Amino acid sequence: MSCMWYMDTSYADQREPHRPVDGVNIGVDQLASLGVLYWKLDPINFDAEGKLDKIRTERGYSYSDTITVSPEKLPNYEQKIKSFYEEHLHTDEEIRFILEGSGYFDVRDKDDKWIRIQVLPGDLLVLPAGIYHRFTLDNKNYIKAMRLFVGEPVWTPVNRPADDHPIRKKYVETFSI
């Protein structure tokens, strides 16, 4: 399982862990209370394992592709990595299955504090529509992930502040934020 913790408040490089010295891991149940879902799958034999197909069917994920984020593989890398780290929300779920490499998803808790989620190969993470979040690589500068969608992909971020956006209001109401 990935590690999850409350971030420190330093302004060090975003790719650093930002884990307080006395930081305690957060459990999957706490993430679930925010609507964040997590599964651990086999990153190499996931087709034979069958778990991903079951999740896709149950949740209606009908489209997928892969993205490799690294200075060598992603066009306009510097611009893209900065945009991924801008605090934002989406009008649809954000679903990522990590195939190779590592990075961090940060999500806001009910008190508006950042929770850092380290993602590693085999992690399948679902962020609900309307949750404030951001993404960054770690200091290895490489991740390959499968992106899953319900229907055609929608990648348009809505940057914070977006508290008046209908999907944010729905998220806040659903999860008592």
Confidence of residue 1 (pLDDT cuts 50, 70, 90): low
Per-residue pLDDT reduced to its tens digit, 58-103 = 999 999 999 999 999 999 999 999 999 999 999 999 999 999 999 9
Question: Whole-prediction pTM value?
Answer: 0.95
Q: With b meaning 16 or more CB within 10 Å and e meaning fewer, what string describes 116-148?
A: bbbbbbbbbbbbbbbbbbbbbbbeebbbbbbbb
